[in-house]
Structure 1
């Protein structure tokens, strides 16, 4: 602690100068009272010694405080480094979340597109249902096939776990439905030809 040492030195110098002046004045003015003055000076010196001891103690405590401040400063540096690391980690998390948001947006758009296509499929299926209703008595066994199609569609909706898998599964089942419809349509045409010569 250079500043404290300088302060202590300065205080010692000031006190020493004051004491010398004090001694000279007393020697010149009251020679006959030299002994009492010596006693008083001894007391003053004793007090000055005590002051020196106190100053040393203060200096030691200041050194201890300085050491503790150094330790705190080092710990703060460690905290800063850890916070920087956490900031970097959070930046990486933000980037990954942004990327995932973009991917989810793409999946949402694809699902919307698939919903539209499925709506078209539903409308076409409704049309086919109307056609099949007209020959219901002749093609009663075909109702079971359509029930199977509905069951398959319900199972697809309940069994969705992964968005991409849903899209792939729906595509596959829509193809299967269309195959069934084509087969039904072919069979219906055959039945119509039989019914209407």
Structure 2
């Protein structure tokens, strides 16, 4: 093979290599652009994640506050239940007292009727005695 032919082959190969390099450069530039877009998306997602974490922290704090309030309400409910039980006990005692008073009143009314009957008898006797005089 002659020098000219060799140079021609080398030039052809150099041209093929140069074209291949240009294609590779174009592909790398495209990949670089896509990578930039992905980085932008990742940054956006990271920012959104930060916002979500902030919201979750806020919700967690609110939940803690609600749990504290529920615990307070639960304690108050326990106090109310105790008070209600004490009221029921007091009502039971009062009912027993009322029943006792009713029982005593029935005896008092019985005594009043007996006294009324005696007075009626004595009045009749007085009327009879007055007539006899």
Aligned residue runs from structure 1 range 146-185, under 5 A: none
Residues of 1 paired with 2:124 and 2:28: CA distance?
135
**Which of residues 71, 78, 86 is equivalent to 2:58?**
71
* Greater helix fraction, Structure 1 or Structure 2: 2
Residues of 2 paired with 1:35 and 1:126: CA distance?
131
Structure 2 length as normaliser, TM-score?
0.76
Q: Which has the larger radius of gyration?
A: 2
Residues of 1 paired with 2:24 and 2:81: CA distance?
82
Per-residue CA deviation, residues 149-173 of structure 1 (Å, 9 max, x unaligned), is xxxxxxxxxxxxxxxxxxxxxxxxx
Residues of 2 paired with 1:64 and 1:136: CA distance?
103
Residue of structure 2 equivalent to 1:150:
none
Does 1:42 pair with 2:29?
yes
Residue of structure 2 equivalent to 1:121:
108
Does 1:53 pair with 2:7?
no
> What CA RMSD, in Å, does the superposition of the two structures yield over aligned residues?
2.4
- Give the C-alpha shift of residue 83 in structure 1: 0.5
Residues of 1 paired with 2:73 and 2:123: CA distance?
69
Higher RCO (Cα < 8 Å, 6 or more apart): 1
Kindly tell me the number of residue pairs found equivalent between the two proteins: 114
**Which of residues 69, 83, 94 is equivalent to 2:81?**
94
Per-residue CA deviation, residues 135-161 of structure 1 (Å, 9 max, x unaligned), is 4468xxxxxxxxxxxxxxxxxxxxxxx
Residues of 2 paired with 1:101 and 1:110: CA distance?
14
